[in-house]
Amino acid sequence: MKIVAYGIRDDERPFLDQWSKENPDVEVVGKSELLDDQTVADAKGADGIVVYQQKPYTASVINKLGEYGIKFMSLRNVGIDNIDWPAIKANDIQVTNVPAYSPEAIGEYTVTTLMMLLRHARQFIRKESQGNFKWAPDIADELNQMTVGVYATGKIGRAAINIYRGFGAKVIAYDIYRNPELDAEGIYVDTPEELYAQSDVISLHAPATAENEHMLNDQAFANMKDGVWILNPARGTLIDTDALIRALDSGKVAGAGLDVYEDEVGIFNSDFGSFDAIPDERLKDLMKRENVIVTPHIAFYTKRAVKNMVYYAMDANKDLFETGKSDKLVQVD
Annotation marks residue 120 as catalytic: no
My answer on whether 123 and 29 are in the same domain is: no
My answer on whether 83 and 227 are in the same domain is: no
d(CA 183, CA 181): 5
d(CA 301, CA 238): 21
DSSP result, 162-220: HHHHHTT-EEEEE-SS--HHHHHHT-B-SSHHHHHHH-SEEEE-PPP-TTTTT-BSHHH
My answer on whether 217 and 128 are in the same domain is: yes
Residue 50 in any domain: the answer is: yes
Residue 43 in any domain: the answer is: yes
d(CA 18, CA 70): 24
Q: DSSP assignment, residue 141?
A: P
Residue 263, judged by CB atoms within 10 A of its CB (0-12, 13-18, 19+), counts as: middle
pLDDT in tens, 83-94: 999 999 999 999
- Tell me what pLDDT residue 69 has: 97
- CA-nearest of 75, 19, 41 to 307 is 19
My answer on whether 143 and 262 are in the same domain is: yes
d(CA 206, CA 209): 9
Q: What's the CA angle centered on 302, arms 284 and 4, to 5 degrees?
A: 95
- Tell me what pLDDT residue 149 has: 98
Q: Which domain holds residue 48?
A: 2-101+303-323
My answer on whether 97 and 21 are in the same domain is: yes
Annotation marks residue 128 as catalytic: no
d(CA 200, CA 218): 17
Residue 55 in any domain: the answer is: yes
- CA-nearest of 288, 327, 323 to 122 is 288
Catalytic residue from among 76, 205, 235, 262: 235
My answer on whether 256 and 116 are in the same domain is: yes
Is residue 333 scored above 80 in pLDDT? no
- Tell me what pLDDT residue 192 has: 98
Catalytic residue from among 142, 297, 304, 322: 297
- Tell me what pLDDT residue 332 has: 82
My answer on whether 178 and 97 are in the same domain is: no
C-alpha separations of 219 from 208, 209, 215, 234 in Å: 19, 19, 9, 20
As for how many domains the chain has, the answer is 2
pLDDT in tens, 43-72: 999 999 999 988 899 999 999 999 999 999
pLDDT in tens, 241-281: 999 999 999 999 999 999 999 999 899 999 999 999 999 99
- CATH number, domain at 62? 3.40.50.720
Residue 330 in any domain: the answer is: no
My answer on whether 124 and 258 are in the same domain is: yes
- Tell me what pLDDT residue 78 has: 86
- Tell me what pLDDT residue 331 has: 86
My answer on whether 115 and 180 are in the same domain is: yes
Residue 331 in any domain: the answer is: no
My answer on whether 127 and 225 are in the same domain is: yes
Annotation marks residue 235 as catalytic: yes
C-alpha separations of 49 from 43, 158, 183, 246, 314 in Å: 7, 31, 39, 43, 9
Q: DSSP assignment, residue 105?
A: H
Residue 83 in any domain: the answer is: yes
- CA-nearest of 79, 103, 207 to 155 is 103
Residue 128 in any domain: the answer is: yes
My answer on whether 52 and 128 are in the same domain is: no
pLDDT in tens, 131-182: 999 999 999 999 999 999 999 999 999 999 999 999 999 999 999 999 999 9
Catalytic residue from among 264, 289, 290, 304: 264
Residue 328 in any domain: the answer is: no
- Tell me what pLDDT residue 81 has: 84
- Tell me what pLDDT residue 252 has: 98
Q: DSSP assignment, residue 239?
A: B
My answer on whether 247 and 285 are in the same domain is: yes
What's the pLDDT band for 100 if we cut at 50, 70, 90?
confident
d(CA 258, CA 241): 11
- Tell me what pLDDT residue 178 has: 97
3 state SS of 49: strand
